[in-house]
Chains A and B, each alone.
Chain A
Amino acid sequence: MLEKEKQFLTGHEIVIKACLDAEADVMYGYPITPTCEILSGWSNIGKQYLQTEDEIAAGFAVCGAVLAGKKAFTASAGPGHILLQDAFSMAEAMRLPFVMVIGQRGGPSSGTVIYSQQEVTLACYGGNGEGYRLVYSPSNAKELYELTRQAFNDAWHYRFPAVLLTDGYLLKTKSVFNLAEITKMVNIPAHALVPEDKVVHWPNIYTLEEELNEEINETKKDFSAISEEISKAESYKTDGIEYLVIAHGIVGAVAKMAVDELREKNIKVGLFRPITLRPFSKKQLDDLFVKNNIKNVVVVESSFGQLARIVRDELAPEIDATFTYIQKPGLGIEVEEIVEFMKKLKI
């Protein structure tokens, strides 16, 4: 049957479609709002899955399956995401192509069930390591599809665990999805990481401090080497600006609309929207500041500064700029709020 190119789909359905097109083999998971529909949708189309007793089991099942050469993934949120960080840390230690889809919900603890941007730190730096993982933050349905595909490809190509960091608003929204607008992508195939006929000693624990230190240094080197190549950000209307708004995910989409409105009112605002949070497009951001001599930055997010901390950390220390913030943990942010804030800032 010929598939219609334009469809009316939920974010969940788009993620499932992307996982199918990425040729994912198996999903392990434990249902939690707002990602239940990914597990139920994946099982409903007859794909291989296992509903485990909890997220800890789901995470280690993903580790095991990818070692055996299966493209495996999981999906979770909030408290489930916390439990997954155990196995995800092991994936970071062993450089496993672990893919997880996170639908951020409010926190701490069970918080609220649909929306926030409070799992940024957890996704980027959760676990007892250094945060050598790939974190993608889609802002719309098209990116939700493309970055899911990208996460599988990058995880298997570069051998770093990957998180698609989304939220319940994006996942639950039903919108027009046009396959014709999607950039064509070739899949990086899965392969057995341990050959069946060989015995391999592949530890996630070391006897000597030096051994571990050496291992982490290697990982850092590899991560740095690919950072510029795979980090991604959108700079929008940034020529000759006085103010730079920084936002990610769906807040990034809202900020983009706010920039359009403010530009019509002749307020010189542009947007920097990180698409990957790890690795971060550091050079692109530094260059933007230097080129435009930007002195005023507004970081907008649905959390108390989880994105702002990353931005301040990544921005070259010699760059001197004043930071202001719109921070609403657990709440959506609307175009009008950003527009009003910027108008006041201008005065």
Chain B
Amino acid sequence: MILKILLAGDGGQGIQTIAEIICRAAFQKNWHVSYIPNYGLEQRGGVSLSFIQISDKVIGYSKFTTPDILLIMSEQARARVKNYESGIMNYDVKDYAQKLEEQKIGKSSYNIFFLGLLVKYLEEKNVLKKEEVYELLEKKLGKKLNWEENKSIFQTCTL
């Protein structure tokens, strides 16, 4: 089994934060994991990508153009990944506009919303456990502002 995940967003949207958490949770489940962040020279405002691979075999190369799962979190990011094939599972922020508004999810928590969706899918595929992801998330963000809000977004999304 090899699962290729490409996360794309703007710098500052927390793409690398959720990538790190997904990878760590998969690592704890004894998968081979490879993760390489990719961003430009900008301090902020550029496109931020995470190339993640989870496999039962040793992973030879960290980049790819054919993701199985593709997350697009901004307009700029959509343009940046247009040469990549779309995934089997696609999560595009524009398809979730209504849902994000209904649930009153602030822009700074979009990453947690999509982390929840990704984790729900990955748990169904027996890749990782949402409880373990939650623990990692709490460790990372538990003492930060909006934790209660992020916590409830994550829990709702993974239901």
Contact of B62 among A113, A175, A176 (CB under 8 A): A175
- Is B159 interfacial (CB-CB < 8 Å)? no
Which of B36-44, B119-127, B137-145, B149-157 binds A? B36-44
- Is A68 interfacial (CB-CB < 8 Å)? no
- Is A332 interfacial (CB-CB < 8 Å)? yes
Q: Closest CB of chain B to A332's CB: distance in Å?
A: 5
How far is B58's CA from A223's CA once the two chains are assembled, in angstroms? 36
Contact with B along A252-273 (1 / 0, CB 8 A): 0110110000000000000000
Which of B26-34, B74-82, B93-101 binds A? B26-34
Q: Closest CB of chain A to B118's CB: distance in Å?
A: 18
Q: Are A174 and B60 in contact (CB under 8 A)?
A: no
Q: Are B63 and A334 in contact (CB under 8 A)?
A: yes
By a CB distance below 8 angstroms, the chain B residues around A254 are: 60-61
Contacts A8-B23, A8-B27 hold; do A174 and B36 have CB atoms under 8 A apart?
yes
By a CB distance below 8 angstroms, the chain B residues around A235 are: none
By a CB distance below 8 angstroms, the chain B residues around A336 are: 66
Q: Are B23 and A174 in contact (CB under 8 A)?
A: yes
Contacts A8-B23, A176-B27 hold; do A334 and B64 have CB atoms under 8 A apart?
yes
Q: Which of B24, B35, B60 gathers most chain A CB within 10 Å?
A: B60
By a CB distance below 8 angstroms, the chain A residues around B36 are: 169, 172-174
- Is A250 interfacial (CB-CB < 8 Å)? yes
- Is A299 interfacial (CB-CB < 8 Å)? no
How far is B27's CA from A335's CA once the two chains are assembled, in angstroms? 24
How far is B66's CA from A173's CA once the two chains are assembled, in angstroms? 18
- Is A14 interfacial (CB-CB < 8 Å)? no
* Nearest residue, chain B, Cβ from A170: B62
- Is B65 interfacial (CB-CB < 8 Å)? yes
- Is B59 interfacial (CB-CB < 8 Å)? yes
How far is B62's CA from A62's CA once the two chains are assembled, in angstroms? 32
How far is B66's CA from A113's CA once the two chains are assembled, in angstroms? 24
By a CB distance below 8 angstroms, the chain B residues around A172 are: 36-37
How far is B109's CA from A44's CA once the two chains are assembled, in angstroms? 31
Q: Closest CB of chain A to B33's CB: distance in Å?
A: 6
By a CB distance below 8 angstroms, the chain B residues around A114 are: 38
How far is B21's CA from A298's CA once the two chains are assembled, in angstroms? 40
Contact of A256 among B35, B37, B60, B63 (CB under 8 A): B60
Contact with B along A77-120 (1 / 0, CB 8 A): 00000000000000000000000000000000000011000000
How far is B22's CA from A189's CA once the two chains are assembled, in angstroms? 41
- Is A140 interfacial (CB-CB < 8 Å)? yes
* Nearest residue, chain A, Cβ from B37: A172
Contact of A8 among B24, B60, B61 (CB under 8 A): B24
By a CB distance below 8 angstroms, the chain A residues around B62 are: 169, 173, 175
* Nearest residue, chain A, Cβ from B66: A336
Q: Closest CB of chain B to A69's CB: distance in Å?
A: 38
Q: Are B59 and A250 in contact (CB under 8 A)?
A: no
* Nearest residue, chain B, Cβ from A115: B63
Contact of B63 among A8, A169, A175 (CB under 8 A): A169
How far is B61's CA from A250's CA once the two chains are assembled, in angstroms? 7
Contact with A along B50-87 (1 / 0, CB 8 A): 00000000111111111000000000000000000000
List 25 A–B pairs whose Cβ atoms lie within 8 Å, in order of A's numbering.
A8-B23, A8-B27, A113-B41, A114-B38, A140-B60, A169-B36, A169-B63, A173-B34, A173-B35, A174-B33, A174-B34, A174-B35, A175-B35, A175-B59, A176-B27, A176-B33, A250-B61, A254-B60, A254-B61, A256-B60, A257-B60, A334-B61, A334-B63, A334-B65, A335-B61
By a CB distance below 8 angstroms, the chain B residues around A173 are: 34-36, 62
Q: Which of A174, A332, A335 gathers most chain B CB within 10 Å?
A: A174
* Nearest residue, chain A, Cβ from B61: A254
Q: Closest CB of chain B to A304's CB: distance in Å?
A: 20
Closest 3 pairs between A and B when the two form their complex, measured CB to CB:
A173-B62, A8-B27, A253-B60
How far is B35's CA from A250's CA once the two chains are assembled, in angstroms? 15
How far is B33's CA from A253's CA once the two chains are assembled, in angstroms? 16
By a CB distance below 8 angstroms, the chain A residues around B41 are: 113
How far is B35's CA from A169's CA once the two chains are assembled, in angstroms? 10
